[in-house]
Amino acid sequence: MPRYALKLEYDGAPFAGWQRQSGLPTVQGALEVALAALEADVPSVAAAGRTDAGVHATGQVAQCDMARDWDPYRLSEAINWHLKPAPVAVVACAQVPDDWHARFSAIERRYTYRLICRRAPLVHQRGQAWHLRHDLDLGAMRQAAAHLLGRHDFTTFRAAMCQAKSPVKSLDEITIEQRAIPNGQVIEIHLRARSFLHNQVRSITGSLERVGAGAWHPDQMAVALRACDRAACGPVAPPDGLFLTGVGYPKDIFAA
């Protein structure tokens, strides 16, 4: 059966996450329904990362095995037709070797968390960012974030339900950018690692917000990290502002 890689974007707001769940709308479920309209008995699809309820994606990667030898462009067009009206789209498609796997072949994941600081309620960005009514100190947040770079035990920033075998992960990049908007600011936190623990990005973001708001000293991030204790974590940021923005592989499968 030919295997295809699908680059997906989706609005996570109406979904109970990526993973199929009985009786609940999920991204995986929507994609599999669309594929079933093209071929009977399409095997279950797999993704590079199982995003939680309300989490968005601009660069999720999934795989599907088809009985027919599809032209990648025609396959993406057909899937998109049957995905309507779900807020999910295939933005790129490529045929890949049979031993390629969306999850296990990946060598990095990239996430962005978006915060919008302004007094007025969000309108166009509602559900797409964490809305804060106070400004944040970017310098302090960057100082705090520097403590997290490298290989550490991230137990403090790991959900209690996390199923990862080890809390030790390497955080390869964490950068914080800001741009001004009328009467406010947009802050984006970009993180890159081979893999992440459950709720790691949202837990880190919630703690960074405490630093930016002046409730934590930047060095408190190092203290929290060394504690290896979930109780030392700041409040977990809501899913609204989190985006899976990219998945890296040894070879760019969508380059052509």
pLDDT at residue 168, as a whole number? 96
Q: What span, in angstroms and rounded, lies between the C-alpha atoms of 168 and 160?
A: 15
pLDDT at residue 160, as a whole number? 84
Kindly tell me if the per-residue pLDDT of 144 is higher than 70.
Answer: yes
Task: Collect all residues with Cβ–Cβ distance below 8 Å to 130 and sequence separation of at least 6.
Answer: 113, 114, 115, 116, 205, 209, 237, 238, 240, 241
pLDDT average, residue stretch 76-97: 97
Kindly tell me if the per-residue pLDDT of 40 is higher than 90.
Answer: no
Assess whether the region 3-105 and the region 108-246 belong to the same CATH fold. Answer: yes
Q: Which two tokens stand for residue 2?
A: 């030919």
The CATH code that applies to domain 108-246 is 3.30.70.660
Residues acting as catalytic residues: 52
Domain positions in the chain are 3-105, 108-246
Name the pLDDT band for 136 (thresholds 50, 70, 90): very high
34-43, 54-63, 130-139: segment of lowest average pLDDT: 34-43
One-letter identity of residue 119: R
pLDDT average, residue stretch 184-204: 96
pTM of the model: 0.95
Kindly tell me if the per-residue pLDDT of 97 is higher than 90.
Answer: yes
- The pLDDT mean for the chain works out to 95
Task: Collect all residues with Cβ–Cβ distance below 8 Å to 172 and sequence separation of at least 6.
Answer: 108, 149, 192, 193, 194
Kindly tell me if the per-residue pLDDT of 256 is higher than 80.
Answer: no
Condensed to tens digits (0 to 9), the pLDDT of residues 16-36 reads 999 999 899 999 999 999 999
One-letter identity of residue 53: A
pLDDT at residue 212, as a whole number? 97
pLDDT at residue 14, as a whole number? 96
Percentage of residues in the chain with pLDDT exceeding 70? Answer: 100
Q: What span, in angstroms and rounded, lies between the C-alpha atoms of 35 and 245?
A: 23
Say what the alpha-carbon torsion angle 224, 227, 229, 233 is, to the nearest 10 degrees: 0
Q: Sign of torsion, CA 174 180 181 185?
A: positive
pLDDT at residue 43, as a whole number? 84
Domain 3-105, CATH 3.30.70.580 — does that match? Answer: yes
Phi-psi group of 33: left, alpha or beta (phi > 0 → left; psi -120 to 50 → alpha; rest → beta): alpha
pLDDT average, residue stretch 217-226: 97
Length of the chain: 256
